[in-house]
Amino acid sequence: MRFLLPLFLAAAASGAGTSDPADAADASEDSPYEEMRTLARAMQLIRQDYVDESKVSYRDLSHEAMRGMLTSLDPHSQFMEPEDFKSMQEDTKSEFGGLGIVLSQRGGALTVVSPMEDSPGFDAGILPGDQILKINGETTDDLTLQEAVERLRGEVGGKVTLTVNRPTTKEITDYELTRAVIKVPTVKDVKILASGGGERIGYVRITQFNEPTAAELSKALDRLEKQGMDALVLDLRYNPGGLLNSAVDVAGEFLPPDTMVAFTRGRTPPREYRTRPRTAPQRKYPVAVLVNYASASGSEIVAGALKDLDRALLVGDTTFGKGSVQSVIALADGSAVRFTTAKYFTPGKNPIHGHGVSPHIRASLTREEEAGLIRSRRKQEGAPKDAPVAMDPQLRRAVDALRGTLVYAKNRH
């Protein structure tokens, strides 16, 4: 479709006597030729007569047309200027500049999915579910998701003031944040839990899925296994996702090779995502996965696969429900279009988008418990380094479930 405009314009310039496929098109049909003729005529009129000549280059007009076309589809589709496309490519690396806030549009409000750990947004006290009402004093009501992200990014060291509404308390607070280089360690808190029992239950938390995540997790599991780990808690709470291949590789740590982790359905041909071959022995100990309302995208794919394939118990709350596939296609001038082409399904054919993944064991945190958990993860004076199992009801339920699994397995033998 992106090639039709230049082809049409070239044909139109050749003269009125040229045969045009649009002449034979039924006016009742959805004909690209007729619509491109209308668009080209509108651009020509604007270019010719609009009062401010500096705003009407054909490049600007075509870019704005594509921007409007894509943002009308859904919150995840967008047109990217060359600098935005380059920035998107850089975001999959281990560090980048910004505030460290993952955003989404929910109910017409610009909503925080999760602040990245050790980022300005996280350290300032912004929480999942917070709604950003203003950026530097300007309302976000009419901003697209991409426009909001562009306003948050900028020169490292620059100041950004966010006016934030917290729906749970109805409080509206201004946060002045300083942009920083965001370093993203993705595998954290690798340890054997002091759970009070004889079982050695390991714990690993994944903050998001980047290029090195699966390799980091593999090393972490090797260390815990050398310490005699009997079972594992994999914490995906507040994990906003990231690279799909990384999420598939993480699931592959616990599944046999060539196991389907997820598949897509859409207007494009279906695609299956499978685990890779591995030379190391398969990890067969019991696993519990912690999820909550801020576990999104890649973390939902991991949780959904391990649940459907009976490889792990899920503990916590139903996940966010972001399971759509965005294809990014580069254009000739360095810009790109990103649009939704399919939706993800778990191995059990359960849709993720708009539904989320439900846990086996439902366990929720009170507002005070969640605030305490997040404080324990921040670098704040007086905050505990780690929340003990007793102070985290979701973790406690996961540990209890793993203990029961281990006792049952022992009695069977």
- Residue 298's Cα: distance from chain center in Å? 7
Mean pLDDT, rounded, for 20-33: 58
Could you tell me which residues are beta bridge partners of residue 191?
A: 203
Q: What is the distance between the alpha carbons of residues 65 and 251, in angstroms, rounded to a whole number? A: 41
State yes or no: is 308 an active-site residue. yes
Q: What is the distance between the alpha carbons of residues 186 and 253, in angstroms, rounded to a whole number? A: 16
In the chain, where the domains are located: 93-183, 187-412
Tell me the Ramachandran region of residue 306: left when phi exceeds 0, alpha when psi lies from -120 to 50, beta otherwise.
alpha
246-248-251-255 Cα dihedral, nearest 10 degrees: -140
Pairing of strands 260-266, 313-316: unpaired
Q: What is the distance between the alpha carbons of residues 347 and 357, in angstroms, rounded to a whole number? A: 12
The answer to which of 18-32, 170-184, 248-262, 390-404 has the lowest mean pLDDT is: 18-32
Pairing of strands 138-139, 324-330: unpaired
| The predicted structure's pLDDT at residue 12 | 31
Mean pLDDT, rounded, for 292-321: 96
| The predicted structure's pLDDT at residue 299 | 96
List the catalytic residue out of 308, 317, 324, 335: 308
State yes or no: is 123 an active-site residue. no
- Residue 231's Cα: distance from chain center in Å? 28
**Tens digits of residue pLDDT in 321-375:** 999 888 889 999 999 999 999 999 999 999 999 999 999 999 999 988 988 888 7
List the catalytic residue out of 317, 322, 324, 392: 322
CATH 1.10.3080.10 is the classification of domain 187-412: no
List the catalytic residue out of 62, 297, 299, 335: 297
| The predicted structure's pLDDT at residue 373 | 86
Residue 113: both structure tokens together:
């999915």
State yes or no: is 218 an active-site residue. no
Express as a percent the part of the chain with pLDDT over 90: 57
**Tens digits of residue pLDDT in 54-89:** 889 999 999 999 999 998 998 888 899 888 787 766
* Model pTM score: 0.72
State the distance between the two ends of the chain, measured CA to CA, in whole angstroms: 63
| The predicted structure's pLDDT at residue 195 | 61
**Tens digits of residue pLDDT in 117-143:** 888 999 899 998 899 999 999 999 988
Q: Tell me the CA distances in angstroms from 11 to 17, 26, 32, 153, one per residue in order.
A: 10, 20, 14, 42
Q: What CATH code is assigned to 93-183?
A: 2.30.42.10
Which of 320, 280, 318 lies closest to 297, judged by CA?
Answer: 320
| The predicted structure's pLDDT at residue 343 | 94
> DSSP strand E in 38-186: where?
78-80, 95-98, 101-106, 109-115, 131-135, 138-139, 159-166, 171-178, 180-183
| The predicted structure's pLDDT at residue 168 | 87
Pairing of strands 78-80, 336-345: antiparallel
- pLDDT(284) > 60: yes
Q: Please report, as a single letter, which amino acid is at residue 45.
A: L
